[in-house]
Structures are given as C-alpha cells and as structure tokens.
Amino acid sequence: MTPSSRRRTLQRGLSASVSLALAAAGAIAAVALSAPAASAAGVPAPSPVGVSGRGATVPFKEQEAEYAATNGTLIGPDRLYGRLPSEASGRQAVTLDATGEYVEFTLTAPANAMSFRYSLPDNSAGTGRSATMDLKVDGNQLKTVPVTSKYGWYYGGYPFNNNPGDTNPHHFYDETRTMFGSTLPAGSKVRLQVSSTSDSPTFTIDLADFEQVAAPLGKPSGALDVVSDFGADPTGASDSTAKIQAAVDAGKAQGRTVYIPQGTYDVRDHIVVDQVTLAGAGPWYSVLTGRDPSNRAKAVGVYGKYANQGGSKNVTLKDFAIIGDIRERVDDDQVNAIGGALSNSTVDDVWMQHTKCGAWMDGPMDNFTIKNSRILDQTADGVNFHMGVTNSTVTNTFVRNSGDDGLAMWAESVPNVKNKFTFNTVVLPILANNIVTYGGKDITISDNVMADTVTNGGGLHIANRYPGVNSGQGTAVSGTLTAARNTLIRTGNNDYNWQFGVGAVWFSGLNEPVDATINITDSEILDSSYAAIMLIEGATRGLHFDHVRIDGAGTYALQIQAPGTASFSDVTATHIGQPNPIHNCIGSGFAITRGAGNSGWYADPPVCTGTWPDPKWTNGGVPGGGTPPPGTPPLVHFGSGQV
C-alpha cells in the first residue's frame, strides 16, 4: 500500500508517557545533552534492552542517538512503513547532513569497543554507497570507521529486489563494529562525526552499543589449529574453505577440537560439520566471511549434513563470527550462517551477520540449542526451526534487523515438538513477526522481549498457517503452548496487503482452526501500534490470558476478526486508542469468559465500525488513513518463505 501522506496530531497523554517511562526504568541509558545546539526526543520510549528478568543478558550498554548530544536533526517518531524512522529502534533517529554534524555518546561504563546502527542512502544503481565517519573520543580523533548501504535498501514485492526504480523501499539500516584499541573509562565522550558529504549526502544514526570485549581466547589444549596445522589464511587474502574443511574433517576423525585463531578467513562455501567442536578466539576476533565470486548461490556458512544425508550430531560451534556478504534475498539459495540438521548440538556465542538467515534448521533433528549469540542484519529470518525440529531451544540470544521473522518455528509436514524460545531479545524484524510458531506441539515462548515490528506482523504470532501445517500430519498447533513473562514494546503494525493493523499478539487459523491450550501469562504489552490482541482467519479456541498488562494500544485492546474462545483474569488495559476497547464483528462467535481482576478492556456491546480508525501512539508517529475493514482477507504469502 502507498502510505497516506496525511499527518496526524501526536498523541501523548501525560499519564501514558509517565507509565511507559516507568516501565522502561533502568532500561534506557539516557545521556544528558551538553553540546551546543543539541536536541533530543521529548518522551523516552521504552527500550528493549535491559528489561529486568526478561530478554537476553547482553554484554553491551545501549544508547539511542535521539537521547545523545547532537547538532543533527531528530527524525521521527514515525511508524509508517517505508519511512526512515519507522525502522529505527524506538522509531526515532538522528540524521547528519553536513560536515561537522555529530552524535556524541557519554559512556556509562568502561568500554573498549562499540557497534552502531546507521543508514546511508542507496545509490542510483541499487548497489549501495560506501563512506567513512570520524570517531572522536573526548574531542580527539581516534579513527575513521567505514560505513555502507550495500547491505540495505530493498524494493518491490516479496521477496524483493535491488532496483531503486521499483516501489516500497525498505530495510534501510545496517550495523558496523569497531574496537577502540584501549579501554575508555566511564564518562568518556564518544562522537560519530561527518567529515565529508562527498560520498554520502546523509548519515542517519539510530543507536550505539558499547562493550568491554575480553581478550582473545587461546587454543584449547590438544586442539587442531586451522592456520598452523592446515594453512588457512587469517588475513583473508586467499580462499580458506578447503583448508578449514580439512581441519574439521580431521577433528572429527581424531576426536579433537578445531581452533580458529584470531583473523578474518575467506570462506566461499559451506563448512560441513559432524561430531566435532569448532571454536574461535571470540566473535570479535575470529571471523568467517566470504562468497564465491562466480556462483552467487555459494557463500560462507557452517552446516550440518541434511537429514536425507543422515544429518549431523554432537557438534559444538562457539566463540566466532560468521559475517557474510549477502546483499539480496533469493529464497532458493542456501546462504545462511548455520543450516542443515544438527542433533544434540550447540551454538554458543556466535555472531551472525549479513547472511540470508542466521540459522535455518531443516529437520528432522532433535536437541539443538542456540545460546548467548547475536543475529544481525539478515535478509530473511533470524532463526527458523523448520520441518520436524524437536526439543530444541534458542535462549539468551539478541536478534535485530532480520529481513523476516526474528525467531520462527515452522512445522511444515513434520511435527515440531517441545521447542523453546526463552530469554531472547528480538528487535526490528523488517517484515513479519518478532517471534512466531507456525504449528507445533507443546511449544514454549517465554521470558522474551519483542520490540518495534515494522510491517505485516506482530510481536508474538501463534498460527496454523503456511504450507504443511495441519492436524492430519500432526503439525498443527496442539497440546499446551506456553507464552509466559514476555514483554512486547511497540509491536504489531500495519499490513500493507490487508491495509489494516496487525495486533501485538495475534492468532490465525487460516489452514484450520487453532484448537489447543494456549496460556498467555504474566506479560506486558506496551505501546502497541494497533491492537494489543487480535484474532483473524478460521478460528482460535483455548486462549487463556492471565495477569497481562496492556499499557497503550493504538486502536483496540481486542481486535476480533475470527471466532474463538478466550478466558481473561487479571488483565488490565490503559491508554487504549479507541473509546470502545473491543472491535468485534463476529458477535457471539467469539466467547469471552471473564475471571477476577480485569479492567479497562471489556465493553458490551463492542464496536463494529465501517472503517479502521487511525491509531494513537503514546510515543508518536504518523498513522495512515482509515480503510474499510474486510471480513477475512485472502492470504498473500509473506512471512517465513521457503528459505
């Protein structure tokens, strides 16, 4: 859809602002403005980093550019798809468009490294541009940092292209990282400054993450060394694919760990692992990167054998980075950081960036874990447990700027059973949902933080949709699904196919009705872009909401577009955009059972309007125009495609 150009009055009720600011207490490193001509956002938006007891425990301190010192231009807040602030954390950022403009952060803890999220414009060919920014510390030049837009800017319809002449530009931001060379004390002022606009007319800064990176890890006792034992090139000047593969094969045969020393290694195809440990010096030090120069369908990745080849087992991947060179989305290309089938295996402290998916796992496979990892800047999903993945987990992992679902399970034709997504932080999926399960039995999605959905999805999605999800094959949502102690911030957004808002927590029975025990408990749904809770397509039965706090919803507390049953106890709602908190054109087809302790979300009768209202957002933005609400719209295949 073409976003409406009509601007709406920013809605900022004082009580809502205060309550949301309190919800974020301890989560935002707000920096006092001390530089000349500095500007900042007026109302702190809740941060997804540092929510007490939930989400990933990250090694960095995050600071938003809009709360730092700057002489640049604050952009946003704005949640309209296709606008630069809509893809920024908190929906605000700072644009620098002249030499000497800067954003300056004051360290709240010692740090020897930083990563920052930024956007440069595309070039006319759609291949991106490259430039540099000055990095200054306490007013003194430290280094220049390369920045680029070659990994961003997609156009057109799914699965998108790199043609600037097409419609719907999106996927604007990227991240880069750098080390300072020494530890800077708390209170140091770290400035990103424009030295020239000749290579890029603008530089938009979203945020910076500061951390104290530990010294490189040494070679484990008895380990094989890919450099000294097998001749891999740590400078990246020559292709190391075959040499690292030889090391991995020897490690399996000899029962020895394979060590990747500090360096950057050119890897142009999959490293296939089975019954081996592959360990680096740390994700800031040991980096696998690369792509085949003639066959663009081949690129760096660490893969188990596929299930039809027997699968792999007893693999550990730890303490290194896979930073690819994927600049387009081609769903048939196996250019993910990690893939194949890996049973009884663990991925621990692996940094995955600039690949298609962080980890697309094709089952059947069992007992696989990703933990303590970072997944950034993907063209498709962050993680997908696909087709018969069981007893597997993603935990304590940080995901940002995935091109599709952040964390997904898809039980296509083979059941996914007893998988868990726990203690993860998932921010800014550029398409689809923060966390989703398409089918699955006895699934747990708990203790996560989800924030800033961009379009065509919500924060948490539970659904019988996409091919191969049905009860006949045992792949539909079934058993008990537990979603406990989750925090959702600014999730849900407009769907540009349906042309109405998707709820922060939403359910779909497109393939067949969802009929299971689904417990949504002890959770917060904050500043939702549209509805807090939504049902659509088919029917959803067996919902139980207990001790859920809704604080801020752009339109409704409940948006009911399909039949179902739900019970509500200790569910409270405040700062709902519409005076009637329930939109329901299904009537008695949706049965509500009310327990004790509810407030703010129930109305009898609910409203059934002829147009969708424009949302009202606590932290601002520019809503689109109202459109007629269809009944049950046809599905357009967005979300987790076959990748």
Final residue belonging to a domain, choices 162, 192, 211:
211
> How far is the C-alpha of 323 from the C-alpha of 618, rounded, in Å?
37
Which of 116-130, 503-517, 607-621 shows the lowest mean pLDDT across its residues? 607-621
Q: What is the mean pLDDT of the chain?
A: 91
Domain boundary among 183, 211, 239: 211
* For residues 205-216, average pLDDT: 99
User: What is the arithmetic mean of pLDDT over 1-29?
Assistant: 27
Q: State yes or no: pLDDT of 23 exceeds 80.
A: no
* Both tokens assigned to 383: 């993680």
* Residue 632: pLDDT over 80: no
Mean pLDDT computed over 62-74: 97
Average pLDDT over residues 180-194: 99
Whether residue 481 lies inside any domain: the answer is yes
Number of compact structural domains in the chain: 2
Positions of E strands within 392-513: 393-395, 398-400, 407-410, 420-422, 425-427, 435-438, 444-446, 449-451, 460-463, 480-484, 487-489, 494-495, 500-501, 505-508
Nearest to 233 by CA among 221, 222, 224, 242: 242
Compute CA distances 631 → 461, 611, 613, 615, whole Å: 20, 12, 16, 20
Closest alpha carbon to 239 in 301, 290, 297, 296: 290
**What's the whole-number mean pLDDT along residues 96-114?**
98
The helix or strand, by DSSP H or E, that contains position 375, with its residue range, turns out to be strand 374-376
Can you read off the two tokens belonging to residue 417?
């059973």
Instruction: Decide if pLDDT at 187 tops 80.
Output: yes
Mean pLDDT on 223-241: 99
CA atoms 413, 418, 424, 427: torsion sign = positive
pLDDT in tens, 361-395: 999 999 999 999 999 999 999 999 999 999 999 99
Q: What domain range is 558 assigned to?
A: 380-628
Which CATH number do you get for residue 155? 2.60.120.260
Residue 168 placed within a domain = yes
Largest CA distance in the chain: 74
pLDDT digits (tens, 9 = 90+) for 424-459: 999 999 999 999 999 999 999 999 999 999 999 999
Predicted pLDDT of residue 30: 26
Residue 350 host element (H or E): strand 345-353
Residue 313 in any domain: the answer is no
Domain assignment present for 197: yes
Q: What is the pLDDT of residue 12?
A: 23
In angstroms, the Cα distances linking 446 to 46, 525, 534 are: 20, 14, 19
Assess whether pLDDT exceeds 50 at residue 223: yes
Is pLDDT above 80 for 43? no
For residue 621, name the pLDDT band (cuts at 50, 70, 90).
Answer: low
Per the structure block, which two tokens stand in for 327? Answer: 């600049």
Is it the case that residue 58 has pLDDT exceeding 50?
yes
Confidence of residue 134 (pLDDT cuts 50, 70, 90): very high
Q: Who has greater pLDDT, 617 or 194?
A: 194
- Residue 441 within any structural domain of the chain: yes
Question: Per-residue pLDDT tens for 571-610?
Answer: 999 999 999 999 999 999 999 999 999 999 999 999 998 8
In a domain, residue 253? The reply is no
Last residue of a domain, one of 211, 241, 265: 211
* Residue 465, CA distances (Å) to 263, 495, 524, 544 in order: 43, 16, 26, 21
Pairing of strands 93-96, 73-75: antiparallel
Single pTM value for the model: 0.91
**8 part of a folded domain:** no
pLDDT tens for each residue of 44-53: 678 999 899 9
Q: How confident is the model at residue 617 (pLDDT cuts 50, 70, 90)?
A: confident
Residue 152 reports pLDDT greater than 70:
yes
Residue 364 falls within a domain, yes or no? no
Residues 485/523, Cβ–Cβ less than 8 Å:
yes
Q: Can you spell out the DSSP letters for 501-555?
A: EPPSEEEE-SSS-EEEEEEEEEEEEEEESS-SEEEESS-EEEEEEEEEEEEEESS
Looking at residue 142, its amino acid is L
Beta-strand pair 500-501/449-451: unpaired
Supply the Cα-derived Rg of the chain in whole angstroms: 24
User: Span 276-296, mean pLDDT?
Assistant: 98
Mean pLDDT of all residues in 289-314: 98
Instruction: Please provide residue 18's backbone torsions phi and psi, each rounded to the nearest 5 degrees.
Output: -65, -45
Q: Is the pLDDT of residue 420 over 60?
A: yes
What's the confidence (pLDDT) of residue 331? Answer: 94
Task: Assess whether pLDDT exceeds 50 at residue 101.
Answer: yes
